[in-house]
A and B are shown apart, each in its own frame.
Chain A
Amino acid sequence: MKKLLVILFLVFVIGAALWLRGQPSGPSPEPEAAQAPSEAPESAGAVTPKPEPPAGEAPVPAPDALGMPQTAWSDLPNQDPPPVDDAPRFTGALESPSVESLREEVARNPHGTPPSLLLYAQRMADRMEAAMQTGDEADRLFAELEDCVRSPTERVTIQVQVVCYTNAGRLSRKYGGRFKERFENLVASAPTVASMVKAMGLDEIVE
């Protein structure tokens, strides 16, 4: 009996030793050579405002520094946002982002395209989609594009004007004589924009 107890005790000790050996070790003797440096590496940020929490009952956040109200995810009927091309199309009047707001966005996040610029492009795309299908929509949009291109650069940045001018050219090519003369006048009245569009090759877009 005594011998049995001794054997069992030894088994217990060996088991305990094995268990202790299996525990995670302390800090490695090898220094971790590759933790992030204090200087943040370059990044290409997607310039979007701070996200609101996706919870269904999250409170509506306050407007951000640009005065953009940010609605909560719960605005959508209980589902994830639809795929991009299924999202509701914009049909309102185009309003280009101001030079001041774009500069502020770039200063806040230098690495990405300003979100207001991307929003404008998305709205423009929705309007172009409709305009490429119906002449009435094309008439309405072409007038707005003319205003955009002719605006002073203090009010509308060249990036916006390039997109406006390019799409005016696309509508002109699509509808032939309907906008031909007006587009030629536009080219003459905005030589800087015309020069930039030509230099970028955007006058050669293939539909």
Chain B
Amino acid sequence: MNSRNFVAKWNLGRAAFSVAGIAISLAMTVLTSACRDDAGTPPPREDVLEALNEHIRAKVHPALQGRPRLHLVETMADMMLVNVAPARPGANVESFRRVFGGTSMSNVALFLNDRIKYILPQGLVTGASAADQSLGGGMVVGATNVGVPIYLQSVIARARGMNPVIRIRAGSREDQIEITSPRVGLVELGVGFGMETRFPVRTEDGRTALLAHTWVRRSSTLVHEARHSDCRVGVTAAEAEAVFRGETQPRPDCGYPHGTCPATISLPDGTIVPNSAAGVEGACDRIPWGSYGVQLAYLKHLALDGRGLTERQRAEALTEFADTLMRVENGISLLRGDFGWPDMSSI
């Protein structure tokens, strides 16, 4: 090859490289302008989380899919179709009225809206997966309210001059939620919220039957979790740090954490009933009108005054009512107001 040919090919090569450079530059310019928003700023919450329905204002994370989402939507819809007011003549529904601010399911919706703001799939905040059952024994979680523990951490963060924002990551998406109160209302739904379970049944044809929770159980679970969002009095950073170091117990009226179940249940007429949950830790209210107490008021009114319930729904309400009574010391007296009415306020 002579030098002239070489120079010609060299120039051709440089020209080709330049054209490629132009093409690459243009491509990068286009791509970066399209991606810049995702990488630079988090998308607005309204674009990411949708409101559940016209009655319940909780935002549902798009990663919540499948059966938990299906049952959540059904639960909210079915709940609003049930009529519990007016109650039976002479019925005492004061406990329901005191907890929910009224005697209808619309009042329950308002109660939930004040306390459950975001519904997420299990593990998005806690990091717990379906395979990681912190409760042990292979049981699955139905729902978990993580709002108050996160609020306590935000108190510490503020005291240290940090910005108390929780970042929730799901795949390539990240949402930011500023923690300003314990009623940030972050509730994770576990697979237990959406699943049905098989149990053996000795039917004539030997088939297995399906234990399917109805909206009654799921709605009472949400009522229970919602109460965990309430924190009556503010917490200092020092108090919060002491809790996380394990030096003190959380205040019983901040998040209403659970305690150990009593050995017996006392009825107003003096009858003493043995408690099948006696001594079980974390299965009962620690103080009056905790999560189980609030749930008890809900289930009582539903069981006694719910109109149009199917037999299965009524059976579930009755059973849940009876079982929840085991988790509230002097539950009947509590519902009558013998220990005062609940303080439903929160900071």
Contacts and interface: CB of A to CB of B under 8 A. Distances in A.
Contact of B325 (A5, A48, A64, A200): A200
B81 interface: no
Contact of B217 (A5, A16, A118): A118
Contact of B149 (A39, A51, A201): A39
Interface string B185-224: 0000011110111111111100111111110011001001
B238 interface: no
Given A22-B39, A46-B192, A68-B199, A195 B267 contact: yes
Given A45-B135, A81-B196, A85-B310, A124 B315 contact: yes
B25 A43 contact: no
A36 B322 CA distance: 33
Given A39-B149, A114-B323, A196 B271 contact: yes
Interface in A133-177: 153, 157-159, 162-163, 166
A50 B210 contact: no
Given A18-B29, A81-B196, A158-B273, A34 B179 contact: yes
Contacts of A40: 126, 128, 134-135, 144
Pairs of residues from A and B, 7 with the lowest C-beta to C-beta distance, nearest first: A15-B25, A33-B157, A46-B142, A110-B283, A22-B32, A34-B166, A46-B192
A180 interface: no
A41 B228 contact: yes
26 contacts: A8-B18, A14-B25, A15-B26, A19-B28, A19-B31, A32-B166, A34-B179, A41-B145, A42-B255, A42-B257, A42-B291, A45-B142, A46-B195, A47-B139, A50-B139, A65-B138, A68-B200, A87-B210, A88-B203, A99-B276, A110-B277, A123-B201, A125-B311, A125-B314, A158-B273, A158-B274
B134 A201 contact: no
Interface in B330-345: 332
A103 to B, nearest CB: 6
Interface of A: 1, 4-5, 8-9, 11-12, 14-16, 18-19, 21-25, 28, 30-52, 64-65, 68-71, 75, 81-82, 84-85, 87-88, 90-93, 99, 102-103, 106-126, 128-129, 132, 153, 157-159, 162-163, 166, 191-192, 195-196, 199-202, 204-206
Contact of A200 (B282, B291, B322): B322
B247 interface: no
Contacts of A43: 135, 141-145, 190, 225
B304 interface: yes
B45 interface: no
Nearest to A104: B137
Given A91-B204, A110-B282, A122-B316, A30 B32 contact: no
B267 A49 contact: no
Nearest to A153: B274
Nearest to B151: A34
A148 to B, nearest CB: 13
A158 B88 CA distance: 26
B267 A199 contact: yes
Interface of B: 11, 14, 18, 21-22, 24-29, 31-32, 35-36, 39, 88, 91-92, 125-128, 130, 133-146, 148-150, 152-154, 156-158, 162-167, 179, 190-193, 195-204, 207-214, 217-218, 221, 224-225, 228, 244, 246, 255-258, 265, 267-269, 271, 273-274, 276-277, 280-283, 291, 295, 300, 303-305, 310-312, 314-316, 318-326, 332
B139 to A, nearest CB: 4
B139 A48 contact: yes
A196 B32 CA distance: 69
Contact of B323 (A15, A31, A117): A117
Contacts of A64: 138
A206 B25 CA distance: 76
Most buried by A among B135, B200, B312: B312
A46 B326 contact: no
Given A91-B203, A120-B319, A201-B304, 10 more contacts: A1-B11, A5-B18, A16-B28, A33-B164, A33-B165, A33-B179, A40-B134, A40-B135, A44-B224, A45-B192
A106 B283 contact: yes
A68 B209 CA distance: 12
A27 to B, nearest CB: 11
A34 B180 CA distance: 11
B81 to A, nearest CB: 14
B276 A157 contact: yes
A43 B126 CA distance: 12
A109 B135 contact: yes
B44 to A, nearest CB: 19
